[in-house]
Amino acid sequence: MSQGKRVGIVGAGNVGATVAYSLAMLGSCHEIILRDNKIDVAKGKALDMSQAASAVRSHTVVSVAEEMSDLVDCDVVVVTAGSPRLPGMSRDDLLMINANITKDVIKGIAKYSPNAIVIMVSNPLDAMTYVALKESGFDRSRVIGMAGILDSSRMAAFIQEKLGYGGGQIRASVMGGHGDDMVPLPRYSTVAGVPLSDVLTQDEIDEIVDRTRHGGAEIVGYLKTGSAYYAPAKSTAIMVDAILKDTKQIHPCAVCLDGEYGYNDVVSGVPVMLGAKGAEKIIEVTLDEKENAMFAQSCASVQTLIDTLNKNNFFEGK
């Protein structure tokens, strides 16, 4: 890692801009570089954020990469570029559109920031993380998808709403792909260390699990013209901060499995230790029969997307 930490963010829309703002307020890095096709919009947001950073006495400077070649020597690059998920659109619908966008972006990152750790945020998240891994040629520890922290935070918020207490003391756990087949784990979720089953009925837990699975769609339904960005952006900033500060903290993230949990060459959300080298260790938790079945279904859903990419000869020449 270089002395002056530099974070690149590709896509300065709602999610990308909010990631940048969160990092600037934290003072996590020396420089944030925004890259977006709408250069003037990115410049305006960069100026605004730099001034906000000055207001809180943060040393972070926010600038703009007018060309991909300006996104150089970054320690971490966050990729949010892509078509957003609109009402009635499944994450799967986004597949080919965003795969091609991701391919172009990753080629630039591999060329100009070859030592960067890449955090994927674009949907469908798990498939885009797979595309980024294959197109970059990076080690799997350096290409990580943001989903588990977001899904876990949604589950925690729903638990707090249902209980009416415990804010800040709820630890929810979600594994699997970022989609309707994600795997919320009530057995590994607690309120101030108290098991969820001791404070909620099974029906209440089932309701929370179902709502968590459709948490993104619920927000899309209200917004009408876009999707969530505050929680996704904060979840991403948490990952960036953990990597830049080499915290070795465990967070649920999407990574390419290589034998873990019995799966190979498929991306799924699992607990990982985040540090300066990226996803430095994958933690294998014990799953019961029901949880194993849900995780298998989740991996199969992601595999279907990867199969679709292969059928369209997306990785030709690789």
Whether the Cβ atoms of residue 290 and residue 269 lie closer than 8 Å to each other: no
Find out whether 211 is annotated in a ligand binding site.
no
Annotated catalytic residue 178: yes
Find out whether 154 is annotated in a ligand binding site.
yes
Find out whether 14 is annotated in a ligand binding site.
yes
Find out whether 91 is annotated in a ligand binding site.
yes
Beta-carbon neighbour count of residue 194 at 10 Å?
A: 11
Q: Where are the extended beta strands (E) located within 25-182?
A: 31-35, 61-64, 76-79, 117-120, 143-145, 170-171, 174-175
Which residue, among 256, 273, 270, 259, has the nearest Cα to 139 in the 3D structure?
256
Alpha carbons 196 and 188: distance in angstroms, whole number: 8
Find out whether 27 is annotated in a ligand binding site.
no
Question: What are phi and psi for residue 165, nearest 5 degrees?
Answer: -155, 175
Find out whether 36 is annotated in a ligand binding site.
yes
Find out whether 122 is annotated in a ligand binding site.
yes
End-to-end distance of the chain based on CA atoms, in angstroms?
29
Find out whether 174 is annotated in a ligand binding site.
no
Find out whether 216 is annotated in a ligand binding site.
no
Among the listed residues 30, 178, 214, 251, the single catalytic one is 178
Q: Which residues are annotated as a binding site for substrate?
A: 85, 91, 123, 154
Q: Which residues are annotated as a binding site for NAD(+)?
A: 11-16, 36, 98, 121-123
Instruction: Give the catalytic positions in this structure.
Output: 178
Q: Which residues are annotated as a binding site?
A: 11-16, 36, 85, 91, 98, 121-123, 154
